[in-house]
Chains A and B, each alone.
Chain A
Amino acid sequence: MTAPLLTINDMSIIFTSPDEPDIEAVRQVDLTLTPGKTLALVGESGCGKSVTARAVLRLLDRNADIRTGEILFEGEGGKVDIARLKPDSDAMRAIRGAQVSMIFQEPMSSLSPVHTIGDQIDEIIILHERLTPRQARERTIALLDQVGVPGARERANAYPFELSGGLRQRAMIAMALACTPKLLIADEPTTALDVTTQAQILDLLRQLQDDYGMAMLFITHDLGVVAEIADEIAVMYLGDVVEQGDVFDVFRAPRHPYTQALMNSVPRLQRKAERERLSPIKGNVPSPKDRPQGCAFTSRCPFAFEPCADTRPARTSLPGDHVARCHLLTRTRAEAMA
């Protein structure tokens, strides 16, 4: 097994506000990213996926605080704990864009409306590789060409509003890959696109990953997209990573009740006679301030029993690289031992 590129251990992120109680948006995140592999981070809206991703680049707002845990990154200059770096420090900025880069959800609002896309891509190349503007532009054109922007030389002089959503997202990807990063974080890059464009962008990302050998952290709430692109999957619920493992293992045999419920809520294409009703997950996601002390899923879990509400389940290793946090797993094991 290759050495991990990025390891997040027991990270919690707390948002403070002067007139409200603190909110623990991320309570317990453990993630491991391997070079050349894609990890899909899955969960409902507001479960802390994006916050986790932004924490890796230290792009969180000033009122967010990484209270505990570490983000260990195997960078060019050796291992660094990103959680300990200052957000605007030279060390952090040397990582951003050069070693870890990010693609955002909304390609329109994530590109500056008043600068050409060429200008916005040149900038990152000039910043990290110290090329002349002319050399940078040549590289930009090559990149745009590589991500499948037709007429790259002319399109480099276009403004974002002159391009379609798919082309904008391609430009965004070209920008993220400009300095050949080791890790690409994609925060719902296909959510704002229509389905055919979505498939093209996923193909492109997979192909680029083969070319560059980078690790990818792919955030989505769409299990179809996960099946399409991911090697590994991590499932988040209300600030906790509840299960992580190989995508086939997890899809075939989800071990955490939340993951199981999530799989059951996906519609399958079946003949009319065989169709079943979807089984949605009971109840609603509680707000982080009503979160149970123990497992966050307790309030909606059909199997909840007495330790769930108060004791946080431990990380249980399962066959393969599969881990989950659920009391059921330790109980069955304890019963088997008895």
Chain B
Amino acid sequence: MLRFITTRLVAMVLTLWAVSFVAFAIIQLPPGDYLTTYMATLASNGDRVDPAQIDALRRQYGFGEPYIVQYWKWITGILTRGDFGQSFEWKAPVTTLIWGRLGNSILVEGLAVIVMWTIALPIGIYVAVKKYSLGDYLATIGGFIGLAIPNFLLALLLMYLSFVWFGTTIGGLFSPAYENAHWSIPRLMDFLSRAWAPVLVLATAGTAELIRILRANLLDELKKPYVTTARAKGLPEWKVILKYPVRVALNPLVSTIGWLLPALVSSSVIVSVVLNLPTAGPLLLRSLTSQDMYLAGAIIMLLGVLTVIGTLISDLLLAWIDPRIRYGSK
């Protein structure tokens, strides 16, 4: 087991290094740099730009230097000082900008993942066991609707309905009063009263998908001889199903937990814009359009870190629940 973890950790570090290299390359791919975008904006506003000043800025940020040199400066800054560089657009260090946003992202999307599993697990088991029953068909129809409705549309619909029915607007994660307050019971209540909508919106499609996958996996497992063996012992049917086939059917799902977080971050961008959520998604979008390269790079890098950590967690979980993986790595 220790060896299993060590090999995974080494692989993780190598992956992260590759991610950082590629992330930095990608944010430099578009022609021009932040200053060209900046000048274009100023020019379109009719302002005059002093070329000398631009040159000075360009030198200061090291834009003229080769890729490798820029990358080296960036990565050593992160590793030695935890310094992700400056955001040009916000005129502030990247670190001060992203932590709160990223925290909100993890919070909202983590909740969405939990909601997803709590809803999908019992329904998925039910529809597999009662295949072709009324409940199965209803869940299938509901699932396809959940998959087919775009998240932003659902968000708009919820906003509209909550305004018409309750007279409140949903949007954001906190009321202005609690925006910058420390965590406390009232702030938590305030958060929950607003966060249910984005959590629900983000969880729908995933729930529907999870139900389909769990149903398919479980249908395969229910036919296996070891289920008959368990029944032949005289166990009650529910215990047979929960202890044996469900346990095996969960394996492939557990291995996908790692991808859920980054997938949610990128898929939640539109929802976050619509619901005005202070999460990382919209910030990433803005920084990419304005070529705010250090900010974009930091977010992409941290998403990479999240993915890799998520994968590690799901690998460990998988090794824990499936002995075949644990012992296969010897």
Contact = CB atoms under 8 A, between A and B. Distances in A.
Interface of A: 54, 57, 59, 88, 93-98, 101-102, 104-106, 109-116, 123-124, 127-128, 159, 161-162, 172, 175
B276 interface: no
B247 A114 contact: yes
A97 B324 contact: no
Contact of A110 (B226, B321, B322, B324): B226
Contacts of A54: 228
Contacts of A106: 225
A123 B235 contact: yes
Given A88-B237, A113-B248, A96 B231 contact: yes
Interface string B222-237: 0011101111111111
Contacts, number: 77
A110 B233 contact: no
Contact of A96 (B233, B324, B327): B233
Contacts of B243: 115
Given A88-B237, A112-B244, A97 B226 contact: no
Nearest to B228: A59
A284 to B, nearest CB: 28
A162 B231 CA distance: 24
B229 A94 contact: no
A114 B322 contact: yes
A114 B221 CA distance: 13
B235 A93 contact: yes
B323 interface: yes
Contacts of A97: 232-235
A108 B221 CA distance: 14
Given A109-B224, A110-B229, A93 B327 contact: no
A97 to B, nearest CB: 4
Contact of A114 (B233, B235, B236, B324): B324
Closest 6 CB pairs of A and B: A97-B234, A96-B234, A97-B233, A110-B225, A93-B234, A124-B233
A162 B327 contact: yes
A11 B100 CA distance: 72
A1 B236 CA distance: 37
5 contacts: A105-B225, A110-B225, A112-B248, A115-B244, A159-B324
Given A104-B225, A113-B248, A159-B324, A59 B232 contact: yes
A296 to B, nearest CB: 27
Most A-side CB within 10 Å, residue of B232, B243, B321: B232
A202 B16 CA distance: 57
A159 B327 contact: yes
A179 B190 CA distance: 58
A105 B323 CA distance: 23
Nearest to B227: A112
A95 B243 CA distance: 21
A102 B229 CA distance: 8
Nearest to A106: B225
Given A97-B234, A113-B226, 8 more contacts: A57-B232, A96-B232, A96-B233, A97-B235, A102-B232, A113-B322, A123-B233, A127-B233
A104 B235 CA distance: 17
A57 B236 CA distance: 14
Contacts of A161: 323-324, 327
Please indicate which of the listed interface residues B225, B226, B244, B324 has the most CB atoms of chain A within 10 Å of its own CB.
B226
A109 B233 CA distance: 16
